Structure 1
Amino acid sequence: MERLTAGRLRTEYLDDPLGIDVSAPRLGWIAVANHRGAKQTAYRLLVATDQKTLDLDLGNLWDSGKIESEESQHIVYEGTELVSGQCAYWKVQLWDEAGNGGNWSSTAMWSMGLLARDQWQGSWIGLKNDHKPTKEQPKPSIYLRRDFQVRKGVKRATAYATALGLYRLYLNGKRVGNDVFSPEWTDYHVRTQYQTYDVTGLLQEGDNAAGATLGQGWYAGYIGMYGFQKYGMDPSFLLQLNIEYEDGTTDCLVTDEDWKASHGPIVSSDLQMGETVDARLEMPGWNGLSFDDSAWVCVDIMYDYRGWLVSQMSRTIRVTETRQPVEIRPLQDGRVIIDMGQNMAGWIAVTLTGEPGARCTFKFGEVLDDNGQLYTDNLRLARQIDTYVCRGGTAETFEPTFTYHGFRYVEASGAGFAIDDVMGIVVHSDLPVAGELETSHPLVNQLISNIRWTQRANFMSVPTDCPQRDERHGWTGDAQIFAPTAAYNMDVAAFFAKWLVDLEDAQQPTGAFTDFAPFIFGPKTEFDNDFTYTHTASSGWADAPIIVAWSMYETYGDKKILSKHYEAMKKWVGFNWKQFPGGIRKDVPQYGDWLSVNERPFEEVIAEFGRMVSHHSTTPYDIFSTAYMAYNAKLLSDIAGVLGMTADQALYAKRFAMIRQSFIEQFVDEQGSIKGDTQTAYAMALEMDLLPDYLRSAVLEKLVSKIEQAGGMATTGFHGTKFLMSVLTKNGHAELAYRLLLREAYPSWLYSVNQGATTIWERWDGWTKDGGFQDPGMNSFSHFAFGSVGEWLYRNVGGIDRDPSEPGYRKLLIRPRINGRLTSARCTYDSLYGPVKTDWQLIQGEFRLEVIIPANVSALVYIPSVEGSDVLEDDTLAIAARNVELLGREDGCSVYRIASGTYRFVSVYGGTNYKS
């Protein structure tokens, strides 16, 4: 039997992070072994200042000693206090269920950042520009450089860099790092992130050169949906390059008045509007040695930054994939349409030829109109146009630097190129893939792909609503309903930890959270010709900090994310209670169940409920808002319990009960009818536990009846859809949930798939055969909200869920919900404790399941079977198999508890088989 070893060592969820600013970071690993029942019973951690010391099995920073524990995550460093710039190398040894010690793991490391503000020695530099940007002419990028000397015997060189705006850093002509948009979007009034790079290998003895390019980014360009918005007028740059020598001495290169600046070939650049590059203005070698910068000007010393400088503790935005077009189709006037075959976020790189000064234009869009032309009406103020001015002569390659687009199609003009000369560049926050799911149904598989691609396009430092139009906000309502799906698709622990800080930074003095973060103050907006709103404190949106933090706790078992934001959560719940002490929230306007489908003529609905409904939500606002107010009180009580705040736990449990009672009295009658009589109202009440027990079955019947009366159709919007499938499945109507999943008529998930969608649409009816395009003012074709069904797919088709008795996937629930319309599914989920796999098939009346449970993890497994028939595990009766314990029967399934390992179950399936 092989020994238990530790793998995938991470620090604060990251692989070998540099420049962190957590003084006592949390360490984690997975236990690795192939035999059944493998379990960690103890561990020993060593942390050392260098690899040589660690190789001697010495921990001169920390030796934990042998710790009797099954825990392998969130292990807090308890060694010697760490200082700025310090490196820490670590490894771990495990003991297994038999008490045998395994081999030491491979080495992981982290380094500390600059832990105090006064350790930053440089000045913010840039080049002031009084030009006010326009859509057609954003500001140009700025080029910075300086020469410097390096002495012999460099031991280590570390660059700490950031900008107000975006930067690309170079040393001796070579790019530093591979992140594409740094620093990432924060509320610059509050904090800016810096990045840390090990640049030891880029320096040389003697002459060296540093260079940087600055873009407007989120700081000084168009952001949001209000036209030109800015945190500041001009980007600026800050660099500190610390050089350590073998003899113990140090040097430090910083940004100061000795740097020079110039404009260059990027003559305009903006994240929303696009980028223009004039190749005739190229400056070969500008960021390397022996460049003549006599025509450059001295930099401007910019204003000192007053916010927090913090280390980036999340994975950076990077190029994650390249794709070739599937077709280039000529149009009239020399234009062509490039079809990438996939709606995505990023840009294209093009190798082309043209005369000197020839202007090549690339316009980006998600779809084509009925005439095969690029459709851009839905971009609103965003242009998404890149322009390249040729230098002429030989073939040249254009690729933008400081912009990105949401697109599948590109209309190109003014250049000659072939299909092999174009490459699509896919860009997003580079989060590790966590889950994969493939079924026997090709349309469901495309839906799963669409959900994943929509997440990729919109996880761009923050969870944006869309990647194409003049918005791209971190909308909270969209993100909170999608967060569990996001966590199945990717490792989002550090990503959402960063965004929760953005949410708290945006919290208002009243305690109200905003509807998107980072928050941008915009003008008040007309709402249904009557009301105005300011994107603050909206139910279902501003509730996101509590809901997302709880979701991350459930997924990763992370108590710190709860404690860090606990006071902010209390302020939000207190804000609601102060405004609505009677327990009914009835302020208008709200968003409500955004983009739901009218279940009856809207004229009837508005006549009955007046201002409590809108065209976007026929579930009355008071129902919707009160439900969320109750739900938040309940979650905060649960959070207080996890944190040991017993008095708070009781207080918020009492508050939940009071709001719940008000909800029942005001909105629910004795027959189980709920005000509004919408699918969403019934689904929310059931899922959020807002009903007395004696009415739950009646309310469930109302919900099922509403769906059947609508022709087996879901009419829910963003939020109702999140709850609908779960409520049906947990309450004995999994078959109806499958019918909704597999429905192909409008409205449904598969309707858009059948129209050729490769991402999730913002609206059920983004385009229909009968109506064409919806209102271009709000019609994104890459919007992840309705993709929240992904959570249901992983849990019920893939069959992988966590046991509700414990967060973090240390205990698993393996329960594929079998429906004969699907005959097989393969699913993997790389949990915090290691990869889980299921592979099930229905074959000639048999149900077959292979399941793999990682070491140090156990699972409950539900095997659909005919009562009284035998269930086999690898040709043995399951009840006699090793590490398999029969617990009984439930809902037509034999239920087993299994330890880690690989298992193969076979049972007689008593359901109905359908063609898929």
Structure 2
Amino acid sequence: MNRLSTKILLLAFLLVPGLSGLAQKVSVSDLTVEHLENPLSVDASAPRLSWKITSQLKNTLQTAYEIRVGTDKNGLAAGKGIVWKGAGKTSQSVLIPYEGPALQSKTRYFWQVRVTDNQGNTSPWSSVQFWQTGLKPEDWTAQWIAVSEKDTLARSPLFRKEFPVAKKIRSALAYITAKGLYEASINGQRVGDSYLTPGWTSYRNHLQYQVYDVTASLKSGTNAIGVTLGDGWYKGRIGFEGKRRFYGDTRALLLQLEIEYTDGTKESINTDQSWKTAYGPIMASDIYDGETYDAREEKAGSWGNVRILEKGTEQLVGMSGPTVKKHETFKALKIFRTPKGEIVADFGQNLVGWAIIKAKGPAGTRISLSHAEVLDKEGNFYTVNLRSAKAQANYILKGNEEQTFEPHFTFFGFRYVRVEGYPGELKPEDLTAVALYSDMATTGKFTTSNNLLNQLQHNIQWGQKGNFVDVPTDCPQRDERLGWTGDAQAFANTAAYNMDVAGFFTKWLKDVKADQQPNGLIPHVIPNVLGAKDGASAGWADVATIIPWDMYVAYGDKRLLEVQYESMKKWVGFIRTTAKNNLWNTGFHFGDWLFYRPDDDNDGRAAVTDKYLIAQAFYAHSTQLLINAAQVLGKQEDVEQYTNLLKEIKKAFIREYMTETGRLVSSTQTAYVLALQFDMLPEELRASSAERLVNNIKSYGNHLTTGFLGTPYLCHVLTRFGYTNVAYDLLMQERYPSWLYPVKMGATTIWERWDGIKPDGSFQTPGMNSYNHYAYGAIGDWMYRHMAGINSDPSAPGYKKIYISPKPGGGITSVSGELHTPYGLVSSSWKIEDKVFKLDVQVPANTNAKVVLPFGGKETEVGSGSYHFECNVP
């Protein structure tokens, strides 16, 4: 076999049509509605239904589907309570819109599906799943309640209501939201497993509510509902300017408990004048500063009357994304005494969440837990980089009985916890750390033969977990924790490989749209708590076009483009009206944020990239993405208009920033990366520009110099222009600045700066030095796409068509990548043995893939199934 030849070895377990002994050749599973499993508050009038197909046969494609929807779960199969029967002769199995009669609000609809494949097999009906429609404005009969006096105390108010249940209950649903954060209980049992509810949105525009099935929590006789409120993002300190009460000065509760009895009667228990209020044991809670809990105050004193608040102008909306939940737990690896004599626990992982502590001691004993990401070079607890955030949990014991404490309305970014005031000896079993992040399913897996790269992938994943806490934050530890748009757009593609972020970004993009200014300007952070005084920054505000398109490609969600299209158009319109002669060269821009500039380099190849050059490149990029969206949505007039505009934008770029030979005014890596990535240069000058980029990299000793805007595209551009070997040189670089330098320094997440900890153990400037920032983790996108070779084809988004093209290099001898797509599991796993490249591929049912082997190997089209490929390594 010569080096270009390819052989396909079908694995023994692949079956062919006609073989006997197959119990069930095709089946349907993993049913979702609007990206969610059994959602309880769907607002969409035509919710989209999705499913995955499992087949024991190769080359399986769906040719038809049948859906039935009803209001009677048990009667669905018998045709009882059917409200819609849908059918289609199509291979589409993702995001099929409901097309039946108008849905009733606060109603549960059950559904199931079966499919027919291209080999004549019909699946059994799937298991029955459901969705519940949300409440219309007129369905809310509850009233907003607050404490009777002005809400000026730091303490968390409690609200309580007792009510009788005399009949047998069929179902009970609690609809809850708050201004502030809430935690509810029924008969002493916590309601649900979500935290930091109702989540953070652009509160003045829309406020989420959650729905809980509490049927099992109610009992015959007297029942009691209790709710505690915290300041949260609504009223607490927010932003690094020390703002408080940004959205309002009064915490308030809205709760509607709807009970249906087996005799068909219904009852509603609503927040109203009959509720009682008192202050509880949470003496203060704040996102940045932490929480103080005095267990001696657990027995509330006298209960007072509540105050009814007028309904606000904000819209109450159901959940379109996941809530924050508890996930991994960590035991302390060790508890030690620092050189300063402080007692510190090391959990081995920089995470976001909190610590749960058990303690027993005299009443009034105060235990303080402080949180830090790193120790200083002497081994002492280090919190200077938290700036003004106290990040502390304080617990006051009520007496000599063992108690367990954890916070309620805050979160911390930490690896280390300092414990002060603990009575007796602190043992590892007394302290547990728990990670909190939005409840996104893990979809991607990436491993290699290189342990440093595997740790880098681990760090990328944990950077995502720690910063996807309801909104995509920049960092989770200091007095910031904001939804920075530049960070989010840079990382969105990588995020979609690691976890299912379809719902997460759908929810956040509503806030992008809501906080967009009337003139189209997109603020720096979403939700916007910083105002728009600096204007819009290139590469940050372009989130309005970048993430909707990225999510469309990743999940095939055309409706997301429809919903965001006017926002995308308004953003490009803002730049257009700001630009002069099609040149966007005014206003404030962050530029290539946190680029690397070694040794005060001023010799002409320095990494300082002209900010207006960057702005012009992103102007073109956003315009191109708007054209893409217009094409998908059939808006041909817009396609033509913006295609003409794009030509003028590129002409202006060439006039202003490029010489006749293709040299740019900024001779930086980022300048050439953006110009090449966004096709700003004439085609005949692109190869020479790519060569200039490579020469710059080599002049820095195979180091990158890019910042937040250049880094995500750097290796992609190198691969596109035939320099994958240079991309690997950068990836495998272990000396600063590089992706592996923090790994070698012991990082367990991605750092904000390339040298957050310097080689001598000292720290970068503490005013901005987070050890849990995900932006530079955007290299994960390249690792999945080119090392593992897993790509979605934009012409058939959501991995309906798959492109598998692994590119080995860097001395790596094996790579394994997996991705749970909307259609099922795609995997690409290769290894090099004895100068032979061996590739195993899995393609999910109802898709097909194009497989391209490296080293000039041929291209092969395959359907679903598992395949083995080999070719010689030159």
TM above 0.5, yes or no, is yes
TM-superposed CA distance for 1:57, in Å, is 4.9
Matches within 5 A, 1:507-656: 507-521=516-530, 534-598=533-597, 601=600, 618-656=608-646
* Correspondence list, 1:779-798, <5 A: 779-798=769-788
Aligned counterpart, 2:17: none
What is the aligned counterpart of 1:735 among 725, 749, 756? Answer: 725
How many aligned residue pairs are there?
849
Secondary structure of the structure 2 residue equivalent to 1:826? strand
Indicate the SS of the match to 1:797: helix
Which residue is 2:292 aligned to? 276
Q: Identify the residue that residue 858 of structure 2 maps to in structure 1.
A: 894
Report the counterpart of residue 904 of structure 1 in structure 2. Answer: 868
How far 1:812 moved relative to its partner? 0.7
Of residues 730, 735, 741, the one that matches 1:751 is 741
Q: What does 1:851-866 align with in structure 2 at a 5 Å threshold?
A: 851-864=841-854
The offset of 1:788, in angstroms, is: 0.3
Identity of matched residues, % = 42
Instruction: Provide, for residues 699-754 of structure 1, a one-character-per-residue CA deviation record: whole Å limited to 9, x for no partner.
Output: 11110110011111110001101111000011111011001000000000100000
Q: Is the 8 A contact 2:339 2:380 kept in 1?
A: no
Supply the AA of the counterpart residue of 2:859: V
DSSP 3-state at the match of 1:257: coil
CA distance in 2, matches of 1:171, 1:357: 29
Q: Map of 1:203-218 to 2, 5 A cutoff?
A: 203-218=218-233
Deviation of residue 899 (structure 1)? 0.6
- Aligned positions of 1:192-211 closer than 5 A: 192-211=207-226
Q: 1:302 aligns with which of 305, 309, 332?
A: 309
Name the structure 2 match of 1:429: 438
Which of 376, 396, 407 is 1:369 aligned to?
376
8 Å contact from structure 2 (residues 857, 871) kept in 1: no
Residues 125/593 of structure 1: CA separation in 2 closer, same or farther (3 Å cut) = same
* Equivalent of residue 504 in structure 1, options 510, 513, 527: 513
Residue 100 of structure 1 deviates from its aligned partner by 2.2
* Contact 2:513–2:564 (8 Å) recurs in 1: yes
Query: 1:554 deviation in Å?
Result: 0.7
Q: Are 1:56 and 2:78 matched, yes or no?
A: yes
Query: Within 1, Cα distance between the matches of 2:599 and 2:162?
Result: 71
1:161, 1:195 within 8 Å by CA — same for their partners in 2? yes
Trace 1:148-167 onto structure 2 (pairs within 5 A): 148-167=163-182
In the alignment, which of 129, 133, 138 is matched to residue 112 of structure 1? 133
Query: Displacement of 1:770 after TM fit?
Result: 4.0
SS of 1:147's partner is strand
**Alignment partner, residue 832 of structure 2:** 842
Secondary structure, aligned partner of 2:553: helix
Q: 1:65-464 alignment to 2 at 5 Å?
A: 65=87, 67-115=88-136, 117-127=137-147, 139-230=154-245, 231-283=247-299, 295-331=302-338, 335-415=342-422, 416=424, 417-464=426-473
CA distance, structure 2, for counterparts of residue 424 and residue 770 of structure 1 = 30
Aligned residues of 2:802 and 2:849 also touching (Cα < 8 A): yes
Task: Check the 8 A contact 2:412/2:476 in 1, yes or no.
Answer: yes
Give the direction of change, closer, same or farther, for the CA distance of 1:197–1:727 in structure 2 (3 Å limit): same
1:36 corresponds in structure 2 to 58
| Structure 1 residue identity aligned to 2:350 | N
Is the Cα–Cα contact under 8 Å of residues 46 and 59 in structure 1 kept in the other structure? no
Tell me the TM-score normalized by structure 2: 0.95
Query: Deviations for 1:28-71, whole angstroms, at most 9, x for unmatched residues?
Result: 00111132111111100010101122132556111114x21100
- SS of the residue aligned with 1:41? strand
SS in 1 for 2:466: helix
Structure 2 contact 239–530 (Cα < 8 Å) conserved: no
Instruction: Determine which of 794, 805, 811 is the counterpart of 2:801.
Output: 811
Contact 2:25/2:56 (8 A) holds in 1: no
The yes-or-no answer on 1:679 pairing with 2:669 is yes
Find the residue that maps to 2:709 and give its secondary structure: helix
- Aligned with 1:450: secondary structure? helix
Q: Secondary structure at the match of 1:323?
A: strand
The letter of the residue matching 1:270 is: D
Q: Which amino acid aligns with 2:133?
A: M
Counterpart CA distance in 2 for 1:80 and 1:495 is: 29
CA–CA distance in structure 2, aligned partners of residues 782 and 599 of structure 1: 23
Q: 2:690 aligns with which of 688, 694, 700?
A: 700
Tell me the CA shift for residue 578 of structure 1: 1.1
Separation in 2, partners of 1:218, 1:683:
38
Give the whole-Å Cα distance in 2 for the aligned partners of 1:100 and 1:35.
10
Q: What is aligned with 2:477? A: 468
**Are 1:9 and 2:31 counterparts?**
yes
Q: d(CA) in 1 for partners of 2:91 and 2:216?
A: 40
TM-score, scaled relative to structure 1: 0.91
SS of the residue 2:161 aligns to: strand
Q: What is the CA distance between 1:656 and its match in structure 2?
A: 0.7
Contact 1:599 1:710 in 2 (8 A): no
Contact persistence 1:3–1:103 (CA under 8 A): no
CA offsets, 1:492-540, max 9 Å, x none?
0011011111111111121111111000145xxxxxxxxxx83531111
Deviation at 1:811, TM superposition (A): 0.8
- Name the SS of the counterpart of 1:214 in structure 2: strand
Q: Deviations over 1:215-238 (max 9, x none)?
A: 111101111211133211221100
The one-character-per-residue Cα deviations of 1:254-298 (angstroms, maximum 9, x if unpaired) are 001111111121111111100001111122xx7xxxxxx7x1111
Distance (Å, rounded) in 2 between the aligned partners of 1:128 and 1:433: 45
User: 2-side partners of 1:720 and 1:603: how far apart?
Assistant: 19
Q: Deviations over 1:806-863 (max 9, x none)?
A: 2110111111111151111111100111111122111111111111111011111122
Query: How many angstroms does 1:183 deviate by?
Result: 0.4
Deviation at 1:585, TM superposition (A): 1.2
2:490 maps to a residue whose letter is I
SS at match of 1:565: helix
Deviation at residue 571 of structure 1 after TM alignment: 1.4
**Displacement of 1:334 after TM fit?**
6.3
Structure 2: which amino acid aligns with 1:163? A
Q: 1:889 is matched with which residue? A: none
Structure 2 spans left out of the alignment, 5+ residues:
1-21
Question: Could you tell me how far 1:153 is from its partner in structure 2?
Answer: 2.5
Secondary structure class of the residue paired with 1:703: helix
Q: Which amino acid aligns with 1:341?
A: G
Q: In 2, are the aligned partners of 1:672 and 1:702 still within 8 Å (CA)?
A: no
1:832 aligns with 2:842: no
Amino acid at match of 1:14: L
Q: SS state of the match for residue 254, structure 2?
A: strand
Structure with the larger RCO, 1 or 2 (CA within 8 Å, 6+ apart) = 2
The list of structure 1 runs, each at least 4 consecutive aligned residues, that deviate by more than 6 angstroms after superposition, is none
For 1:809 and 1:604, locate their aligned partners in 2 and report how far apart those are by CA, in whole Å.
Answer: 46
Q: Tell me, what secondary structure is at the counterpart of 2:74?
A: helix
- Give, in whole Å, the separation in 2 of the partners of 1:154 and 1:382: 47
Describe the SS at the equivalent of 1:767. coil
Question: Aligned partners of 2:349 and 2:295: how far apart in 1?
Answer: 29
**Which letter does structure 2 place at the counterpart of 1:355?**
P
Question: CA RMSD for the aligned pairs?
Answer: 1.7
